[in-house]
Structure 1
Amino acid sequence: MNMTMSSVPDSRCGRVEVITSVQCRRRWTTAEKVRLVEEAMQPGLSVSYVARRAGISPSQLLSWKRRMLEGGATAVQADDDVVGVARVQELEKRVRDLECLLGRKTMEAEILKEALALAAPKKPVLRLASLDRDGSP
């Protein structure tokens, strides 16, 4: 059972919630994370205050902020777009799969070359009749 009770408004936060049941882990969308990080970066607002209002740990918000800043710095340094780790891992797996396929196809081509070489008819060799020492047959 999820029961939320509000107490006397706190001057810093506005209200205090007491949750008496076990909660499932909340999933934050990218847009929500960006909004919270941008809010925490506003002058006069602290990470702790924004995190408390959102109901998350300040360390979680700091982690999101660090990732955003590092990703942006990396993109600027490389003069490139930021790509998520999941996308990079997906592309690396695709490259491994394609390399494996290329290896198989290369091996098949080598086997086919060997098979053709074995199956190809031998070119006839012209044998000259032996000549006597004086040059007559």
Structure 2
Amino acid sequence: MPEHVLMSEVEIITDGGRRRRWSATEKLRIVEETLDERSSISVVARRNGVAPNLLYRWRRLMLAGGSVAVADDDDVTSNKVVRQLEERIRELERQLGRKTLEAEILREALDKSRAKKPTLLARSPLKGDTP
């Protein structure tokens, strides 16, 4: 066999650059282009150098959460913030439970001390009385 058939050239494509960062205004402008019924998302993505799936994501986020979601490239409230708030709620509920238990114990102790007080006075001699 000829040598050129046995040895084929292999082309390695590497991405030398970093991810592109899109500003909120750029994202909104591109998403607004997709809302025009005359152009498809794929055409708008190609024209602006954006991957179509990323453009679909931006569009979904904008329609779901408005410009705030698109600006942060996340849901309206990020999952991290939700987890932090849930953890804070659990901590506050735990503290509330402890304070409620303390109040109940103190209330019971106060009720018992009030119940014992009249009987102690009835048994103890008065100042002027001599036994």
Q: TM-score, normalised by structure 1?
A: 0.50
Structure 2 stretches lacking a partner, 5+ long: 1-12, 67-74, 124-131
Measured in 1, the distance between the counterparts of 2:48 and 2:62 equals 18
* Pick aligned residue for 1:124 from 90, 100, 118: 118
Give 1:60 shift.
1.2
Residues 75-94 of structure 1: pairs in structure 2 closer than 5 A: 84-86=76-78, 89=82, 91-94=85-88
Structure 1 stretches lacking a partner, 5+ long: 1-18, 73-82, 128-137
Q: What's 1:35 paired with?
A: 29
Q: Residue deviations 1:3-34, cap 9 Å, x none?
A: xxxxxxxxxxxxxxxx9543333343443322
Q: Residue deviations 1:26-53, cap 9 Å, x none?
A: 3434433222211222243321122223
Measured in 2, the distance between the counterparts of 1:53 and 1:59 equals 14
* Pick aligned residue for 2:59 from 39, 60, 65: 65
Q: When you count helix as a share of all residues, which structure comes out higher?
A: 2
Q: TM-score, normalised by structure 2?
A: 0.51
Measured in 2, the distance between the counterparts of 1:119 and 1:110 equals 14
Identity across matched positions, percent: 52
Measured in 1, the distance between the counterparts of 2:24 and 2:90 equals 29
**Matched length:** 99
Measured in 2, the distance between the counterparts of 1:103 and 1:25 equals 48
Q: What's 1:105 paired with?
A: 99
Measured in 2, the distance between the counterparts of 1:107 and 1:20 equals 64
Compare relative contact order (CA 8 Å, sep 6+) and give the higher one, 1 or 2.
2
Q: When you count strand as a share of all residues, which structure comes out higher?
A: 1
1:49 to 2:43 alignment: yes
Measured in 2, the distance between the counterparts of 1:30 and 1:104 equals 46
